[in-house]
Amino acid sequence: MQQFTLHTGLVAPIDRENVDTDAIIPKQFLKSIRKTGFGPNLFDEWRYLDPGFPGQDPGSRRPNPDFVLNQSRYAGASVLLARKNFGCGSSREHAPWAIDQYGFRAIIAPSFADIFFNNCYKNGLLPIQLPEATVGTLFDEVAAFPGYVLTIDLQRQVVIKPQGEEIKFEVQAFRKHCLINGLDDIGLTLTHADKIKAFESRRLLEKPWLAHSSPTPNA
């Protein structure tokens, strides 16, 4: 998992409340057995004027010129600004995969759906919850100033605005540790690799019959 320490990025606003995971990555794309390739289909039904399906060439699609991510002023954005209850709906982990694979590193909103919020941390995305009035001010500033950039300092737990004003945010210490060190669930487990190996060695000494594989059944 990619580490998150200090990030500066262009902000793109999604000015809708209750954005659910089917809007983030529509259900037809969940058929993929891979964990990659979802970025081109982020917000697919809003981003394109034609229906999308798995395996489609993004270059063959008809982009919706009115959708925020298709506007040139937000090209290359890596901080997503959203309204309350972002990520509601089904629990699909594909939603943070799609956001991450599009290129976003952080999401700022007044509130998030619980499962989506947890899935973000497991996939290297930083969800930042700020007061609704503060988020509203950020929306106003993004609209007023093209090229609006925020810096997110996870170590200090602050969002830094272009003029230098700092906005404090809260993050659980364990989640912060995992993001700063780039540890997903597997990576976190592997930090205990020596203990796991020692346990396995001790177990085989105490129960050597466990080392024998089961006979292969007759075909």
| DSSP per-residue letters across 117-144 | HHHHHHTT-EEEE--HHHHHHHHHHHHH
**CB burial string 188-219: b at 16+ within 10 A, e below:** eeeeeeeeeeeeeeeeeeeeeeeeeeeeeeee
Q: What is the pLDDT of residue 218?
A: 56
Pairing of strands 79-82, 106-109: parallel
- The two three-digit tokens of residue 144, written as one number: 């007023």
- Residue 17 carries which side chain, given as an amino acid letter? E
Supply the DSSP symbol for 28: G
Please give the pLDDT value at position 189: 67
C-alpha angle 28/69/29, rounded to 5°?
Answer: 10
Going by C-alpha positions, the residue among 33, 30, 182 that lies closest to residue 91 is 30
Structural domains present in the chain: 6-184 (3.20.19.10)
**Which pLDDT belongs to residue 110?**
98
Block means of pLDDT (10 residues each) for the chain, 219 residues, are 95 98 95 88 97 90 96 98 97 95 98 97 96 98 98 98 98 95 75 74 78 58
Report the SS3 class of residue 155.
coil
Report the relative pairing of strands 6-14 and 79-82 from DSSP bridges.
Answer: parallel
Q: Are 49 and 117 in contact (CB under 8 A)?
A: no
For residue 44, what pLDDT is reported? 97
| Predicted local distance difference test score (pLDDT) of residue 190 | 63
Distance CA 150, CA 38 (A): 25
- Structure token digits, residue 123: 């996939």
